[in-house]
Amino acid sequence: MTDHQPPEENYSKANEDFLKAVYLLQQDQERVQTSVLAEALNISAPSTTEMAKKLAKAQLVIHEPYRGIRLTEAGERIALEIVRHHRLLELFLVQALGYAWDEVHEEAEQLEHAVSERLMQRIAEYLGNPRYDPHGDPIPGPEGDIHDRELTPLAEWEIGEKGLIARLRDQSPEMLRYLDDKGLVIAAQVEILKTDPFDGPLTLLVDGTEQVIGVNVAQYILVAPYENPH
C-alpha cells in the first residue's frame, strides 16, 4: 500500500477544474452550455455531460438539459477557493521568485490543486493580502469575497484622458509578451493621443513613451481612471 492514491487525486483535480471553468465562464454568461465548457476543458461533450451529472448529484452544479450548467453556492465556494489559489500562486511566482507574467499560468494550473489552505494563507500574508494577480484579475479573499472594479476597454477610452492599466482580458503568453514589449503592463499610465478612422491603429502615450497598437489589442486592455486606480 502507498500513501498516494492517484485515481482519486485525479478525480478531485478534474472536478476542481470543472467547477473553476464554470465559474470563469459564468463571468460572461449566466448559464454555461456544455459545448462551451467542453471546449474550455478540452474534453469531449459526452464526458462533460457525464461530469455535470455527477457534480449535480453532489449538489455542486445545477444541470438542466438544453439550458446549461451553473454553480450552486457550494460549487461556487470550491471554485472560488481554486481561483484564489491560482491567482495568489501567480502573484507569488512573479513577486517572490522573479517569474515573468507570461510564465506563471501553467505552473499555477498544476499547483492550485496541491496546496493547503495553511500554505495559501501564509503566502497571502507574505504578499500583504493582495487584491489582484499579475494580470489584474481579482483574488478572492479567504471567505470568497471579491473586489471587482468597473473598468473600460482601452479601445473605448476617451482621447486625452489619463488612465491606468488595470486588467488584461487576453492572457495568452504571446499577447502578454507583446504587451510587455510595449510597456503595456499593470499600473502603467496610458493616454490615447489619436485614433485612426475605420478601426485603424491607436497612438498611445505609455509611461511617457509613444506606442502604436491595433484596435483589437486595445479591446483586451482594461483601464481604470488615473485618479482612482482601485
Binding residues vs Zn ion (CB under 5 A): 105
Smallest gap from residue 7 Cβ to Zn ion (A) = 26
Q: What are phi and psi of 57, to 5 degrees?
A: -65, -40
User: What amino acid occupies position 222?
Assistant: L
Cα 9 to Cα 7: distance, rounded to the nearest angstrom: 5
| 132/157 with CB nearer Zn ion | 132
> Which single residue brings its beta carbon nearest to Zn ion?
105
| 76/137 with CB nearer Zn ion | 137
Cα 122 to Cα 193: distance, rounded to the nearest angstrom: 44
| 32/89 with CB nearer Zn ion | 89
Smallest gap from residue 83 Cβ to Zn ion (A) = 9
Instruction: Give the other-Cβ count within 10 Å of 199's Cβ.
Output: 10
Smallest gap from residue 115 Cβ to Zn ion (A) = 14
Coil/strand/helix, residue 191: strand
Smallest gap from residue 43 Cβ to Zn ion (A) = 19
Task: Tally the C-alpha atoms within 13 A of residue 132's C-alpha that lie toward its C-beta.
Answer: 15
Smallest gap from residue 178 Cβ to Zn ion (A) = 17
Q: What are phi and psi of 87, to 5 degrees?
A: -75, -35
Distances, alpha carbon 94 to alpha carbons 51, 54, 101, 114, 178, in Å: 34, 37, 6, 19, 18
| 103/207 with CB nearer Zn ion | 103
Instruction: Give the other-Cβ count within 10 Å of 30's Cβ.
Output: 8
Smallest gap from residue 142 Cβ to Zn ion (A) = 19
| 94/217 with CB nearer Zn ion | 94
| 85/105 with CB nearer Zn ion | 105
